[in-house]
Structure 1
């Protein structure tokens, strides 16, 4: 019986996603025995792992669910929700809006299709400052608004999102009852992980062109980043063809490279989380 839907390479994110979930439990178990320095080092790794998972495993799971079985996909979605601290089904909906709007600029009413648009809180048609986008995006999410929109457009996914939220909250309440200090200490590091994901998202689009499909995203071909983040660097290519599997992104790039150059698709040298180090940053 076929287990994976698209590629045998999807065992990589499946295994890594499972290990990430187990690592969160492991961190809880070792927490009482850690020195403060050891805890801080592991918690910082945890923060980075949140952004890594969101932008690699969780992201690819949205576009090409890994399993042939719907039941296994639902189970994996619940596991991601617990690991990351938010509903994967809600992230799916928000991310699909992201692809519908492609970092669109606000309309006359100040609204954007894309909930995540870097232009939403900017001024004069320019992107928002990177640091306010990075550190405030977490507080701008309105779960009630998202669930209402989901209930209208995708009622089945809205129900799943509510269950995921309930299970995720229940899981961490149990951990809090067992050791409330762990939850209290981990909250700022989870927030930092969400901020790192926002920082990543900012430079995936800063300098892109919302009016040109080939230039909707900003790409980086830094090899270590793409090996470890499952080709997330091919972001312009991904926005142009969102359903292309993560293992096929380099091939897609080769086929459209000439068109991208003509469209002025932006490419940066550093990986997206370090986009502020790009030498051409001032020109944008």
Structure 2
């Protein structure tokens, strides 16, 4: 079933997510035990968001129906239709990084107090992302009905489960369902700023910042190796470190290989030092208007998620 057995690792975090969710819901008391449950749910929800990113680029299972079902599961884990990653990330971000076609470009982050940029980045880009997603979905309804139906299934399932949980106990639903989902979406969106702010989008290697801490990449399925991911988006996550060491490390500027995420966060946001990859003070150029871009499905067949694979 699995294309690579190592995907048992992210799958185990999905089991942990649903297990913690059930245990916390049954616990029902607002105490320190509940706080620990919420922390665990937030972590595994974020891991679900990371794995959704991986699976949209490189389907996990050998059969298309399995990948389509898996995207529904991932939708429930991180609280957003899995297929919506296609227009905003696979297409806009990867095909046109940090340009007007990229709804999540870093030039939108324009607070002088840099910590506000990372805290609010999801809100800064939300309108543009929603607009791009809606336009793409509307176009795909006729251009690629299979993809559109997959999106509809994911969205309908998410709305239905959310409504049921709100009906059962709206307070627990807010704490255990909606809050971890927002945390996961906030985290996966904010990573875009960490990985591209102040980089050179014209460079073959210096367009992305990498975080190479082993523990971080264990928990985040090698999401820290971002340059090689842009060079080879369909590369399985388990191969990213080896490919980074071989193809990126000899050429990339050393400032774009960060050994500690927390050190980078402290300097960049705690000390308010927004620097480009050369170490110079940085503030983005004027942000241009968004540029609508809806490629035909046959132009990007490898970027459509589960429906990429033949039945």
Q: Alignment partner for residue 194 of structure 2, among 203, 206, 218?
A: 203
CA positional deviation for 1:132: 3.0
CA positional deviation for 1:250: 1.9
CA distance in 2, matches of 1:153, 1:218: 35
CA positional deviation for 1:254: 2.3
Q: Alignment partner for residue 69 of structure 1, among 57, 63, 66?
A: 63
Between 159-168 and 175-184, report the one with greater CA deviation: 175-184
CA distance in 1, matches of 2:40, 2:249: 39
> How is 1:1-284 mapped onto 2 (pairs within 5 angstroms)?
3-5=1-3, 7-30=4-27, 32=28, 34-55=29-50, 57-97=51-91, 98-104=93-99, 112-120=100-108, 122=110, 129-138=117-126, 141-142=129-130, 144-151=134-141, 154-186=144-176, 187-257=178-248, 260-261=251-252, 266-271=256-261, 275-278=264-267, 281-284=273-276
Deviations 1:158-180 (A, max 9, x none): 22111110011101211222222
Deviations 1:27-78 (A, max 9, x none): 3333x2x2333323322332333323212x1121111111101111111111
Instruction: Report the TM-score when normalising by structure 1.
Output: 0.81
* Aligned residue pair count: 265
Instruction: Report the TM-score when normalising by structure 2.
Output: 0.75
CA distance in 2, matches of 1:24, 1:221: 30
User: Where does structure 2 lack aligned partners over 5 or more consecutive residues?
Assistant: 277-311
CA distance in 2, matches of 1:283, 1:199: 17
CA distance in 2, matches of 1:278, 1:24: 35
Between 91-100 and 158-167, report the one with greater CA deviation: 91-100
**Greater length-normalized contact order (CA 8 Å, ≥ 6 residues apart):** 2
User: Where does structure 1 lack aligned partners over 5 or more consecutive residues?
Assistant: 105-111
